[in-house]
Every structure is written in C-alpha cells, then in structure tokens.
Amino acid sequence: MPPASPRSRPGYWRLLAPAVFALAGLLFATSFQAARGTDLRSDRGLPGLIDGATRDVAAKSAAITTLQTELDALTAAAVPSTTGLAPITDVINLLAPVVGTRAVQGPAVTVALTDSKRNSANLPASVRPDDLVVHQQDVQAVVNALWRGGAEAMMIQDQRIIATSAVRCVGNTLILQGRVYSPPFVISAIGRIDALNEALDQDPQIAIYKEWVDAVGLGYRVTTEAKATFPAYSGPVSQLVAKVAR
C-alpha cells in the first residue's frame, strides 16, 4: 500500500482543530477565574507581602500626621480663646504630653534586644532554636519595667507608645500598631535615668533574660541620652472595647 499522501492529513486536523480550540478556551477561562484580574506570577511570598503592607501603613501614618497638624491649626484659628472651649482646650494641652499626643523631650534610657548569632549546633543539646530569638515576653518585660520605673513617655522602634499600644510578636518579628519589625528591638523611655536603670536591674523577668544572654548569646544593651525627643503619637486614640477593672 502506498504511503499516505500529505494532502490527506488535513482531514484529521479539521476534526481535531475544534477540540483543541475548545480546550484552549476552557484553560483561558479557568486561568481568568483563578486570577480574578491579578498577576498569578507576582507572588512575592509572605515576607514581600508584609514588607509592602508595612510601607503602606507608614505612608498612611505620615499622611494622618500631616492632616492632624493641619486640623489643629485650623481649629486654633477658628475657635477664639474667649469661647467656652478654652477650659477644655487647656485640659487637652495639659494632658497631651502624658497621653502621648504631643512630642516630648527629656533624658532617656534605651534598651536594645537582639537575637543570638550563635548556631544551635554548637550549643548544648537542651538549647532549642527557639531559645536563640527574642520573644514577646522579653520585650514586654522591658516595657513593664520602664513604666514601673516612672517612664513619662516611651518609644518602641520608631513609634510612640500610649496606654492602648499592644506588643505582639510572631516568630522573631514584632507587630506594633499595624507595622512589622525585625530585631534588634529598641525600647526607649524618657524619665529619671537612675530610676529607669534601677527598675531594669531589679526586674525578675529581665534577670531571667540576662541568664540566656550569658548562656546563648542573646543581645541586651542599655544606653542613656541626656536629651531625647519623642514624636507625638498620631494613630487612633478612641477606645473600641472597654470593661470595668475590678
């Protein structure tokens, strides 16, 4: 039997072409539904998403600060000091440095907490990788000790801390007021330097942390500054949930 002529092949292709096109259309439709208008290849992973969200929060915080400054100036210009609002304004101005809504200056103590740079393979078998990083309770212990020592104002990283600020750690990252930070974690407080240092030295939780500093090389550094400036807190101050303390 003579070989099939090349001219006889298009007959098969006429039958297969519709099926191929239908399959391609199905794949395109599936891809569109999965992507929903987004780039499926743009997955930067969790670190990239966190970094992008942190930059977005920082930009919005800066915008809020600018708008708040403009609002304060307009309010002061629109409301004469002779009105009935003057006493309220005086109270607000008096409390502003205490509650954190105004920039403050004064002598400060700064504590820096850092993860260990040692390899767990070179340490005793009882030491776990989790023991080589700074945890939430370590940061909270420093914060509590500084408040106990009479701190008049506080900063963590580059943010002013107020009564409603919450310290939360996920892994070896710190989440503070919508922004994410990696170690070293820096906590600063304005107040009497001798009282702040004494509170740090006498705190039992910090004493335990110092034992791990010696054991596995965690970082703990305390410095002082004669005059530090803390910016005003610019985030929301309204309470969403509250309950009576017993």
Domains identified in the chain, total number: 2
Q: Which domain holds residue 61?
A: 43-68
Specify whether 141 is located in the same domain as 50. Answer: no
Q: 30 versus 111: which is more confidently predicted?
A: 111
pLDDT over threshold 50, residue 119: yes
Model confidence band, residue 171 (pLDDT cutoffs 50, 70, 90): confident
pLDDT in tens, 203-244: 999 999 999 999 899 999 999 999 999 998 877 766 666 677
CA–chain centroid gap for 49, Å, is 13
Category of 236 on φ-ψ map: left (φ > 0), alpha (ψ -120 to 50) or beta: beta
pLDDT of 26 reads 59
Specify whether 108 is located in the same domain as 207. Answer: yes
Specify whether 226 is located in the same domain as 117. Answer: yes
Model confidence band, residue 179 (pLDDT cutoffs 50, 70, 90): confident
| Domain-embedded: residue 48 | yes
| Domain-embedded: residue 195 | yes
pLDDT in tens, 133-146: 999 999 999 999 99
Specify whether 48 is located in the same domain as 146. Answer: no
Beta strands across the sheet bearing 153-156: 159-161, 153-156, 185-190, 104-114, 219-230
| Domain-embedded: residue 218 | yes
Specify whether 108 is located in the same domain as 198. Answer: yes
Q: Which region among 3-12, 19-28, 156-165, 235-244 has the lowest average model confidence (pLDDT)?
A: 3-12
| Domain-embedded: residue 165 | yes
Angle between helix axes 204-216 and 136-148 (nearest 10 degrees) is 140
Specify whether 53 is located in the same domain as 120. Answer: no
Model confidence band, residue 4 (pLDDT cutoffs 50, 70, 90): very low
pLDDT in tens, 26-76: 565 565 555 555 554 445 565 566 667 667 767 776 777 677 777 777 766
Specify whether 225 is located in the same domain as 109. Answer: yes
Specify whether 108 is located in the same domain as 161. Answer: yes
| Domain-embedded: residue 170 | yes
| Domain-embedded: residue 126 | yes
User: What are the CA-CA distances from residue 151 to residues 98, 107, 161 (Å)?
Assistant: 10, 10, 11
Specify whether 61 is located in the same domain as 174. Answer: no
Residue owning tokens 């304004």: 89
| Domain-embedded: residue 127 | yes
Specify whether 53 is located in the same domain as 138. Answer: no
| Domain-embedded: residue 14 | no
Specify whether 129 is located in the same domain as 63. Answer: no
CATH code, domain carrying 156: 3.30.70.1880
Tell me the pTM.
0.65
Specify whether 207 is located in the same domain as 117. Answer: yes
pLDDT over threshold 50, residue 7: no
